[in-house]
Amino acid sequence: MSLNLCKTTWKRVRLGDVIRRSRTQVTPGSVDIDRYVGGGHIDSDSLAIERFGDVNDGQMGSTFTYLFQPGQILFVSARPYLRKSGIVNFSGVVADKTYVLDAAPENGLLQEFLPFLLASDHFIAYATAEATGSMNPRLLWGQMQRYEFALPPLDEQKRFADLMWSVEAHQNSRGVLAASLGLAYESWLEKKLSGQTTRHLGEIVRLQHGRPVPSNLYGDVGVALLRPGDMKPNGRTQWTDSSVRIPASFTEENADCSLSPGDLVINMTAQSLEDRFLGRVCRMHDAAFLNQRIGRLTPVQGITPEFLHIALRTPAFSAWVARRSEGSKVKHMHWRHIEDYPLPFPSEDVQAEIVAEVASWTRAMDSVAHEARTVSTLKQTVTSEIFGGVK
C-alpha cells in the first residue's frame, strides 16, 4: 500500500515546539482520583490505554502523583523500545517517569495525530538511541523535545489520523475476538476433559532433560538450539532473530538430545509465572537440540502425542505448575512437581475425536491471528510512509 505522499508542504519541527507536558501534581486520595496507570497497564500493540490500578490496592508507588485527564497522552520514558504510550479516556495519576502530554494545535500539531507519532518506528529508534542509563534507560524530557520530524499541514494530519484510528480500531477488534475465541476454546475443552478417567502423568509419559550448551558455541550456522524464548504461547516453536545455532559436531556427540519435528517439549524455568510460560508445552516445528531447563515429553502408554499436547495446554495444568513451582526471583519446576498431575486419560477413540475438534478451533484462531498480523503490518506500513522508517 502506498499513500503517494507529497511532502513539499510539510514543515520540519522540533517535538518540543509542538507539544506541552503537564506537570500538575495531586495527592491521590485527597482528591477525587481513584485510578493510576503504570507501565504494566499499557499494551505495546495498542494506542488506547484502558487498563488501570486502584490507588488503594497497595501496589502504587509514592511517585504516582502526576495528574492526567481524559484525552491526554501518556508516554513512558523508561525503556522507550517497549513502546508504552497511548491516549486515555479517564482521569488518574502516573509516576514521574511517565510524561503527560498534549499537542499544541496553535503550533500546528493535532492531538489525535500525536499518538501515532510517538509510536512510529522513527521516533522509537531516536528515543532508544538517546535514552540514558544502562540498567533502566530513560528518554529525558530535554532530549525528547529535541526530536525533529516533518509535520504535515493540519488538514492532512486530520486525514491521516482518521485513517490510522480506523486501522487501530480494526486491529483492536481482532484482538478482542482472539481473546474471546481463546476463552471459549478453554471453556469448551474444560467441559470435554471433565469427567474423564485420569492417570498420573508419570505413569504414561517419560521426561528427558536437555543438556547445557556453552555460550561460546552460539552462532548463526549449524543446528538450531531450542531455548525458552523459541517456545510460543500458541503451543508451537518458532525461530526468531534472537534464536541461535550450535556446531553439528556438538549435537552429534550428544545425539540423545536431538529433537525432531513433532516432538513435545516443556519449559522448566521462567522469570515469572506470567503468560503461563513456566510449564509451557510446545510441539517442535523443526529439528533442533534440546537445551538445559527444557524437557522432552514422550508418551509411553495409551496416549497420543497430539492429545498429550492438548491436555497439557490447559489452565488446570498451568495452575498445577504454578502451585508446585520453586524459586523467588526465577521460577523452576522439576519432574517431581508434575509427575503426579492427574492427566485426563480417555479412550483412544475419544482422544482422536478431541484432537479433530481442537484442529477446527485452531484453524479459527489462526485465521483471526493472521488477520490481526495483516492489519498490524498495514498500520506499520502507513506510519512508516508518514513518519519514516527506522532512523
Q: Which residues contact 390 (CB under 8 A, 6 or more apart)?
A: 121, 122, 125
Query: What residue type is 229 in one-letter code?
Result: G
Q: Whole-angstrom Cα distance, residue 116 to residue 114?
A: 5
List Cα–Cα distances, 80 to 69, 74, 124, 275, in angstroms.
Answer: 22, 12, 6, 22
- For the ranges 27-41, 169-183, 215-229, 248-262, the lowest mean pLDDT is seen at 27-41
pLDDT at 2: 59
Residue pair 188/49 in contact (Cβ under 8 Å)? The answer is no
In 3D, which of 316, 283, 320 has the Cα closest to residue 298?
283
Q: Whole-angstrom Cα distance, residue 121 to residue 113?
A: 15
Residue 56 has pLDDT above 90, yes or no: no
Residues written for the chain: 391
Residue pair 149/15 in contact (Cβ under 8 Å)? The answer is yes
List Cα–Cα distances, 73 to 78, 155, 254, in angstroms.
Answer: 16, 21, 54
- For the ranges 53-67, 223-237, 286-300, the lowest mean pLDDT is seen at 53-67
Kindly report, residue by residue over 86-97, the tens digit of the pLDDT: 999 999 999 999
In DSSP terms, 219 is beta-bridged to 245
> Could you tell me the three cell numbers for 109?
500539531
> Could you tell me the three cell numbers for 205?
509419559
List Cα–Cα distances, 17 to 8, 99, 337, in angstroms.
Answer: 20, 16, 58
Mean pLDDT of 231-243: 94
- The label of the residue with cell 541461535 reads 244
pLDDT at 389: 53
pLDDT at 30: 72
Kindly report, residue by residue over 115-151, the tens digit of the pLDDT: 999 999 999 999 999 999 988 899 999 999 999 999 9
Residue 264 has pLDDT above 70, yes or no: yes
Please report which confidence band the pLDDT of residue 272 belongs to, taking 50, 70 and 90 as the band edges: confident
Kindly report, residue by residue over 309-367, the tens digit of the pLDDT: 999 999 999 999 999 999 988 999 999 999 999 999 999 999 999 999 999 999 999 99
Mean pLDDT of 45-51: 90
- Give the single-character DSSP code of 252: H
Kindly report, residue by residue over 21-37, the tens digit of the pLDDT: 999 999 887 778 889 99
Question: Where does residue 77 rank: exposed (0-12), middle (13-18), buried (19+ CB within 10 A)?
Answer: buried
In 3D, which of 237, 236, 257, 267 has the Cα closest to residue 333?
267
Please report which confidence band the pLDDT of residue 391 belongs to, taking 50, 70 and 90 as the band edges: very low
Share of the chain above pLDDT 70, in %: 98
Residue 1 has pLDDT above 70, yes or no: no
List Cα–Cα distances, 109 to 127, 150, 155, 385, in angstroms.
Answer: 20, 11, 10, 18
- For the ranges 42-46, 77-81, 84-88, 123-127, the lowest mean pLDDT is seen at 42-46
The residue among 195 and 28 whose pLDDT is bigger is: 195
pLDDT at 29: 72
Residue 284 has pLDDT above 90, yes or no: yes
Mean pLDDT of 195-200: 95
In DSSP terms, 299 is beta-bridged to 205
For 164-231, the DSSP string reads HHHHHHHHHHHHHHHHHHHHHHHHHHHHHHTT--EEEHHHHEEEEE-B---GGG-BSSSEEEE-GGGB
* Helix, strand, coil shares, percent, the chain, to 5: 40, 25, 35
Q: Whole-angstrom Cα distance, residue 17 to residue 22?
A: 14
Query: What residue type is 326 in one-letter code?
Result: E
DSSP run (H or E) holding 385 = helix 348-387
Residue 387 has pLDDT above 90, yes or no: no
